[in-house]
Structure 1
């Protein structure tokens, strides 16, 4: 769940955020996008945070670039029908690098705008789209530096999907695709300008794949085994098209589709990238592994660190090493395929987000941070302040067990914490490193005795031994 970022003064924030709650040791989202430039620097974008970042791996130097426009402030409101409202969510989705012109492209989350960042003058430019942007993780860019984005109606509205070509000078050309009310769109382009679009129309039982040639769309017949959702498209350096679908990956080569089965059941391959030598790399969203399909077709898997969950973004560096992020960690990770070793690269908390978190201004949790320590000392039972959103689910043993109360008072969130608890319980043996990392990241004022209660409680109820 995205964090609401506030760029207003402290006095105004005190008025506007009376119902805003802060994550104490609750979730940290990893980089949504990763890319390497020609100099070997690693670029990242976060859809929770309004920043682009650049890491120099050899020196460890990290720079962040913040847009100059002010963000809207709001609070995520929950209701049983719609869940959380994303009306004012913002952040960056996806990355595309144009090294020749020194440009970095991204999308403003949940909006109709593209961001172009110039590395020479460090200025951001907003470019409007003819509808809501669809794209994440990797944004397609062709050999001429043109960015290709699919845009269309939002939130159940009807209207034609449109493929938008954005030139380096920010000029646009629009190609309508006569498809309405589609879900799961994905776009990929080869360096020669050959494009591909996949999506699923509301009334169809199988995903649709379109080739985009000579400014025209041609629907491609898919194998009957391909289901309703194509998760991701990717065109490799050889010009072959790859599709992630269900628990398999497909390759289109010389007009023939070939299916590759992932060894881990339920792996759910998601983000795709190639190394330029014919090897395809992919994340396993549910399998918690990084996978590779070698030139000869062999499928290999590399487990991510046991403390991590759900790999997100992925890119392959020029030296063949694989960079990736995970769902609940700001660190970047680098996998050496030759050894299987994984090295972590800690990133600093975003300057805008960390200040907001320290002030108790993150959204979608159930306790105001400034009341955490005092409330924990006063009573082992969590009592929501008047006018706040009650927890959607209480932890095991609540309210009788002090550890359960400490967890709910300090850590429980209404969005990702329960997902994290349930998902991690079957594979985690010790919660201490995770809890300490979350507390440190969020700068939460949680007393040592409360931390010990939380760790002890989680280790007794939400670890491998209990499942």
Structure 2
């Protein structure tokens, strides 16, 4: 499939149609081949956008592919939320999937761990799983309710948002968990990323804030200009700042490590931006209405 229709260009933001509105681009990641890979959550597919020609190639996978990331083995790994499996796709299109030990767990977040394995959350089961590149699965109790996104911290531990526990969790590679409650009630943390300052940065979708937590557990919160922004995903940008999607307002936000916030409007307030990642010197985010947006990083 080749659908490269630029639909919006403000000078700093460009959007490219990559699917119909029902397919649901959800999350994205740069692959080991230099291409941009993204999930189509409502189509049961993972797609690749070529780095040179913009050609979009679609690969069928399991039901409900959600968060995607590059693994240490040269493949793309992703959660299949509705199929309750962990998927693996090579750049050549070879697909495999692995079942967690807990059935019906609702896998959501996934990241490459510090131990050479992939780690994922089982949001509906309050568990965190580990799968080796050969498919061997182990699981541990999450340190709180509804673990969502997760990432590797500068301390060599796994850090996850506990969406229904109103906390951020830390899990060592041997399964020891700690929860750090958030100061704001109903914060509903979702996305989390390791920052350039050694801390973890996360979104509070319920409170309209961006949070920062040190590896010692100290939490700082930064209110967004729009309390109804519903920030969703967050990533470290190539400019030393953190970038995040504002699902409720159709914008992409930027926050420096000092807490200065700016935002960029997308083409529609209802375009539903979800995942975000750095790629090719810019920030890219997935719009569930069928596009990918590229946000230029300016000095």
Query: TM-score, normalising length from structure 1?
Result: 0.50
More strand by share: 2
Pick aligned residue for 1:174 from 97, 121, 126: 97
Q: Are residues 1:259 and 2:259 paired? A: no
Q: Are residues 1:326 and 2:246 paired? A: yes
Deviations 1:280-304 (A, max 9, x none): 0000111211000124432111110
How far did residue 108 of structure 1 move? 1.3
Deviations 1:316-337 (A, max 9, x none): 2233312122233233221123
**1:143–1:192 CA contact under 8 A, matched in 2:** no
2: distance between equivalents of 1:145 and 1:262? 36
How far did residue 218 of structure 1 move? 1.3
1: distance between equivalents of 2:113 and 2:209? 27
SS class of match (1:329): coil
Runs of 5+ consecutive residues of structure 1 not aligned to the other structure: 1-49, 72-87, 155-160, 355-415, 417-467
**1:232–1:243 CA contact under 8 A, matched in 2:** yes
2: distance between equivalents of 1:280 and 1:51? 36
Deviations 1:181-229 (A, max 9, x none): 333543222376411233256xxxx522222235201122445xx23x2
For 2:50, the equivalent position in structure 1 comes to 118
Task: Count matched residues.
Answer: 265
Question: Counterparts of 1:5-404 in structure 2 under 5 Å?
Answer: 60-67=11-18, 71=20, 89-98=22-31, 101-129=33-61, 131-136=62-67, 139-151=68-80, 161-183=84-106, 185-190=108-113, 193-199=116-122, 207-213=126-132, 214-223=134-143, 226-227=144-145, 229-236=146-153, 239-245=156-162, 246-253=165-172, 255=174, 256-306=176-226, 308-338=228-258, 340-349=259-268
SS class of match (2:100): strand
**1:143–1:191 CA contact under 8 A, matched in 2:** no
Deviations 1:36-67 (A, max 9, x none): xxxxxxxxxxxxxx989999xxx944333323
2: distance between equivalents of 1:290 and 1:217? 33
How far did residue 234 of structure 1 move? 2.1
How far did residue 247 of structure 1 move? 0.4
How far did residue 307 of structure 1 move? 5.7
Are the structure 2 counterparts of residues 199 and 331 from structure 1 closer, same or farther at C-alpha, using a change threshold of 3 Å?
A: closer
Structure showing greater radius of gyration is: 1
Are the structure 2 counterparts of residues 175 and 306 from structure 1 closer, same or farther at C-alpha, using a change threshold of 3 Å?
A: closer
More helix by share: 1
Aligned Cα root-mean-square deviation (Å) = 3.3
How far did residue 119 of structure 1 move? 1.3
2: distance between equivalents of 1:312 and 1:249? 15
SS class of match (1:209): strand
How far did residue 253 of structure 1 move? 3.1
2: distance between equivalents of 1:269 and 1:307? 14
1: distance between equivalents of 2:128 and 2:6? 32
